[in-house]
Amino acid sequence: MDNLKVVILAAGQGKRMKSEVPKVLHRVLDKTMVGYVIEASQEAGADEICVVVGHQSAMVKNTVKDMYDNITFAVQKEQLGTGHAVMQAGDFIKEGNILILCGDTPLITADTIKELCNTHSNEGNDVTVVSMIVEDPTGYGRIIRESDAFSKIVEQKDANAKEQEVKEVNTGVYIFKAEALNSAFAKLGNNNSQGEYYLTDTLEIIKNAGGKVGIMVAKDDKEFMGVNSKLHLAQASAVMKERINTEHMLNGVTITDPANTYIGKDVKIDKDTIVYPGCMLEGKTVIGKSCIIGPNSRITSSKIDDCVTIQMSVLIDSKVKSFTTVGPFAYLRPNSSIGEHVRIGDFVEIKNSNIDDGTKVSHLTYVGDSDVGKCVNFGCGTVTVNYDGKTKNRCKIGDGVFIGCNTNLVAPVEVGDRAYTAAGSTITKNVPEDSLAIARNRQENKEGWRKKVDKG
């Protein structure tokens, strides 16, 4: 649809969330609710998006700006209803096709938005509302029809006994021709039990002025689940989790326990990878084919190449190349790059470091701010001492180096190719290639010492 403008209503406080965080910033899996709505709009081809903010507007604005470009904002200083909220968009709604979405409906999809736009355009409607059929309509505005055509929308508190029996309800999603919307706003009042300016009333105003009002009945009412409490948040997360996991399984990924696997919307996984229970895959993570992930691993915005095994470990903003194993209980912190055929073992922490092919960091080791060559062997308990209290310094370790257990490498320091460090050494000077570095006191045995101590 040409000239599609989207207004996202995100001004509400969300008292039932019982939280200091604005309702629309609560997360479903790894993404804010308003973020899902913005992305669905973008995927559907929106030309411009305006988010109407109110409660804690600065927090909502800053969060959205950090995630997305080219979003404009309007501020609703007083909560005077949905119609009043859309009015605050001002010049944004003066022309084009105006799609109204709610920032607390994270399950809406781009396909549904596209279908709505097509229905609106093909039927030549001045406004089209999305309705849904529910068994329990309590709390929803009712869609009232006459001879199957739209008559009006009646809010729960304003509905009479007969109207309250209607099971076709308003989802809160509409698309207007801008001219019809603005003409209706000129006549919109607040003569209702809430004293608010209802956006729903604009549909009856448009109809009474001779405009055409259409209704699109939703195929899946779950898409329009409004999240108003932590219970609703959990329910929406369960729906999103099932939707995402199903897509991955249909694309050839094995998820051994979908109910206990949490994968973000932006995660990409190639075929024949196995994801075990308890895993959390988040952000812009990309996982290649034939990998084994889990159990109980968390991977955030990382790139994992083919045939990698990760066991019970945490990876954040890192890269792991093919045929490498990570874990159990390893921690790859941001800006870590791990080569092929590498072994990152148990209780190993890597931070802002490059580990080249064939290297083994098997257990109980910290490698931070380091550049490590090929086929290096780290003994147990090795530490790169990278912080002097003021600045972070780097270590450089060449190819084929053997680091003895309990070695401290005090950065900045370089260890040349094929060099060795003796167990228990604290290395403070560069080690030439093919050398053995020993940096510890010579052992001295004091025979009979214990007996002298015991005698006092």
Along the 456 residues of the chain, how does pLDDT read in single tens digits?
Answer: 889 999 999 998 889 999 999 999 999 999 999 999 999 999 999 999 999 999 999 999 999 999 999 999 999 999 899 999 999 999 999 999 999 999 999 999 999 999 999 999 999 999 999 999 999 999 899 999 999 999 999 988 889 999 999 999 999 999 999 999 999 999 999 887 788 899 999 999 999 999 999 999 999 999 999 999 999 999 999 999 999 999 999 999 999 999 999 999 999 999 999 999 999 999 999 999 999 999 999 999 999 999 999 999 999 999 999 999 999 999 999 999 999 999 999 999 999 999 999 999 999 999 999 999 999 999 999 999 999 889 999 999 999 999 999 999 999 999 999 999 999 999 999 999 999 999 998 889 999 988 888 887
Catalytic residue among 26, 84, 120, 363: 363
Per residue, the 3-state secondary structure of the chain, as one string, reads CCCEEEEEEECCCCHHHCCCCCHHHCEECCEEHHHHHHHHHHHCCCCEEEEEECCCHHHHHHHHHHHCCCEEEEECCCCCCHHHHHHCCHHHHCCCEEEEEECCCCCCCHHHHHHHHHHHHHHCCCEEEEEEECCCCCCCCEEEEECCEEEEEECHHHCCHHHHCCCEEEEEEEEEEHHHHHHHHCCCCCCCCCCCCCCCHHHHHHHHCCCCEEEEECCCHHHHCCCCCHHHHHHHHHHHHHHHHHHHHHCCCEECCHHHCEECCCCEECCCCEECCCCEEECCCEECCCCEECCCCEEECCEECCCCEECCCEEECCEECCCCEECCCCEECCCCEECCCCEEEEEEEEECCEECCCCEEEEEEEEECEEECCCCEECCCCEEECECCCCECCEEECCCCEECCCCEEECCEEECCCCEECCCCEECCCECCCCEECCCCCCCCCCCHHHHHHHC
Tell which residue, 450, 365, 371, has the closest CA to residue 408: 365
Tell which residue, 369, 347, 352, 370, has the closest CA to residue 361: 347
What pLDDT sits at residue 156?
87
Nearest-Å Rg of the Cα atoms of the chain is 30
Q: What is the pTM of this model?
A: 0.91
Residues 392-419 as b/e (b if ≥16 CB within 10 A, e otherwise) read ebbbbbbbbbbbbbbbbbbbebbbbeeb
Q: Which two tokens stand for residue 153?
A: 């929308």
The CA distance from 216 to 397, in Å, is 65
What pLDDT sits at residue 155?
87
The CA distance from 252 to 241, in Å, is 17
Asked if residue 327 lies in contact with residue 312, where contact means CB atoms within 8 angstroms, the answer is yes
What pLDDT sits at residue 158?
86
What pLDDT sits at residue 36?
98
In the residue annotation, 232 being an active-site residue is answered as no
The CA distance from 411 to 392, in Å, is 8
Tell me the residue type at 216.
M
Asked if residue 439 lies in contact with residue 428, where contact means CB atoms within 8 angstroms, the answer is yes
pLDDT in tens, 254-291: 999 999 999 999 999 999 999 999 999 999 999 999 99
Sign of the CA dihedral running 401, 404, 406, 411: negative
Tell me the residue type at 340.
E
Sign of the CA dihedral running 147, 150, 151, 153: positive
Domains of the chain: 4-224 (3.90.550.10), 254-437 (2.160.10.10)
Instruction: Please state, in angstroms and as integers, the Cα–Cα distance from residue 107 to each residue in 110, 243, 260, 350, following that order.
Output: 10, 10, 20, 37
How many other β-carbons are positioned within 10 Å of the β-carbon of residue 298?
Answer: 19
